[in-house]
Amino acid sequence: MGILDDDIVAVRESTDIVAVISEHVGLKRTGRRWVGLCPFHNEKSGSFSVNAEQKLYYCFGCGAKGDAISFVREVEHLDFVAAVEKLAVKAGITLRYSDEGQSEGRKRRTRLLAAVEKAVDWYHQRLLSSPDAAAARAYLRGRGLTGDDVRAYRIGWAPEGWDELARALRLPDQDFVDAGLGFINSRGRPTDAFRGRVLFPIFDVKGDPVGFGGRIMPGAEGAKYKNSVDSPIYNKSSLLYGLNFAKADIVRADEAIVCEGYTDVIGFAKAGVPRAVATCGTALTEEHFKLLRSFARRLVLAFDADAAGQNAAERVYAWEKKYDLDVAVASFPGGVDPAELAQSDPGALAVAIAEARPFLKFRLDRVLDGASLDTPEHRVRAAESAMAVVQEHPGEMVRDQYLLEVAARCRIDPQQLRGRRFEAPVVPGARRESAPKRTGSDDEPPPYGEPAPARRTRRLPRDSSATEALRLLIWNHDDIAPWLAEVLFPDPVTSTAYRSVMATATLADAIAMAGAEEPVAGELLQRLAVEEPTADPADVLARLVDEAAGTAMAALRAEAQVAEDPLAIGETIGWLNLRIMELREPLTRQLALDELLDWLIDDEPNLPHEEPPVRESLEG
């Protein structure tokens, strides 16, 4: 399913990775590679490196790595197919798809996006110029939105008529319905989904219009807000209004602000804080957290984060841990919403974000600031309510730090609070839900308060003779390949990397092969591909053979300790010891290299015993 493999290869081979990355990163040539500041994390010295020959990049600061396709996916937040399609357009390559169903699916999506695009334009022009939109224009002016704001966000007006959009666009009925623009009524006629509402177009992260959020006019009957129904192109649980506009600033600030309303998002931008987004008529979901994590490490909630109560808090803590996010909450003076504050005091809006408190701190302050602390009974009651909030957090050390704060503010001995369970006050009419059940997946957080299970992973090996030899093999393959053998790479990571390079035609294939067997080996090759070698090949090979011969010597001596005929092994030990000494002398090094390599390969039981290769001297 998807794009044909041959076309993906053609895109990779035809793409100038330096040109692609240079659209986002200032690169400077250093030897055979290019370096610059990493676009995926904040840094002052360039640790981002590109190998133009192998068409790969690697960051030594954050570990970001890949080819042109993965770079476009990460920096522009596209899926694989969209990234390939974008690069194919640049390279002038016409893509083919693996089956007709896949191709038809993408054609259908293109049709539906085009239908929504037409609706956005029609509604927008209606707001700008139609007499029946005068009240809507006045309403938006009252909310502080200028004509420039309306045009920038392509705000529209849905007239009162039941089929005005349908008659204007004349789309096929199925496309009209599937795009979420309306429905077919009992008489078989297409009927508009939105009537008598100010419409805010909702765009996906790529900037394609996928739906609408509609606000009814003040005083009119009906639901205050109405959003597009879920469709093949619109899923409210994974969409955020304004993300297409705000993503660049979110990445720069490493912070996203989450609001409740569309005008709040616009208000933040007008106040000089253009990194706000809003949910589309739904509560904040895990999909939203997952989406925002790809842009920033810090989320500021710009709404009443305590209103949903303990059940929402448990989910936020779990997602905060799972996606390695810092979640904070902003408080606004006088309880006004961000859109109003953006008009009356935009500076205060920016201060509220800068002074946002951690999620737990905000909830704890809400309890204690509203409690009476004038008597021992009141202080104990406040401490119990506060500790019920504190114990929701899954981190033991975090809980203990806030416990100390509760004890200090309520003037209670911390030992009186430790080791006890506290029940949250029961709110009349509130329904308490059970915590979500775990499925046992490694991707899910552990039960609250329990440590995460340890994972057995290998680290990238430190620089050594083996890694330097692999670096030379990548950059100067033909010169050093005849001198290398797997026996010279004794650890699993470097031996897997060596086998993969020797068994494949391209470095990209080698990285994929190594990563499938030993993920760290694939990452090692990716890193070495952007590190131009500086060591002398003859010196590297001599060290590598010396180390392998030393390991073999130790094994022979251990064997001699228990052998029935230690003298026979002693002869081999003597020969090997002499070759090692010759290897360390400049005049005899080349001959010793040949003899030791042939002996090591012949002595390795898992390697085929073939005629030794013809090798030209590595000496300069």
pLDDT averages per 10-residue partition of the chain, 620 residues: 80 91 85 88 82 91 89 81 85 76 72 95 96 95 93 96 94 94 92 95 90 92 89 90 90 89 93 93 86 86 61 74 86 83 89 90 86 88 88 84 91 86 53 36 33 47 87 89 87 91 89 88 91 87 89 85 79 87 86 87 51 56
DSSP 481: G
- The alpha carbon dihedral of 228, 231, 234, 235 has a sign of positive
Q: What is the pLDDT at residue 237? A: 87
Crossing angle (nearest 10°) for helices 537-562 and 589-603: 50
Q: What is the pLDDT at residue 312? A: 61
Q: How far is CA 371 from the centre of its chain?
A: 41
Of the options 3.40.50.150, 3.30.1300.30, 1.20.50.20, 1.10.10.10, the CATH number for the domain spanning 361-416? 1.20.50.20
Measured CA to CA, the distance from residue 568 to residue 554 in angstroms comes to: 16
Q: How far is CA 120 from the centre of its chain?
A: 30
Domain boundaries defined on the chain: 5-91, 103-234, 361-416, 465-603
Question: 3-state class of 561 per DSSP?
Answer: helix
Own/partner contacts of 566-573, CB < 8 Å, gap of 24 or more, are none
CA angle 345, 350, 351 (to 5 degrees): 90
Measured CA to CA, the distance from residue 103 to residue 239 in angstroms comes to: 24
Q: What is the pLDDT at residue 102? A: 55
At position 307, the amino acid (one-letter code) is: A
Determine whether domain 103-234 maps to CATH 3.90.980.10.
Answer: yes
Place of tokens 């394609």: 208
Of 255, 391, 260, 258, the closest CA to residue 325 belongs to: 255
Q: What is the pLDDT at residue 425? A: 53
Same fold, 5-91 and 103-234: no
Measured CA to CA, the distance from residue 309 to residue 298 in angstroms comes to: 21
CA angle 389, 392, 395 (to 5 degrees): 120
- The half-sphere exposure of 384 on its side-chain side, counting CA atoms within 13 A, is 12
Measured CA to CA, the distance from residue 429 to residue 451 in angstroms comes to: 34
Q: 533 Cβ partners below 8 Å, 6+ apart? A: 468, 471, 472, 475, 476
Indicate the pairing of strand 65-66 with strand 156-158.
unpaired
Determine whether domain 5-91 maps to CATH 3.90.580.10.
Answer: yes
Measured CA to CA, the distance from residue 56 to residue 65 in angstroms comes to: 7
Question: 3-state class of 167 per DSSP?
Answer: helix
Q: What is the pLDDT at residue 597? A: 85
**Would you list the DSSP string of 77-142?**
T--HHHHHHHHHHHHTPPP-BSSHHHHHHHHHHHHHHHHHHHHHHHHHHHHHH-GGGHHHHHHHHH
pTM of the model: 0.59
Residue 185 CB burial class (10 angstroms; 0-12, 13-18, ≥19): exposed
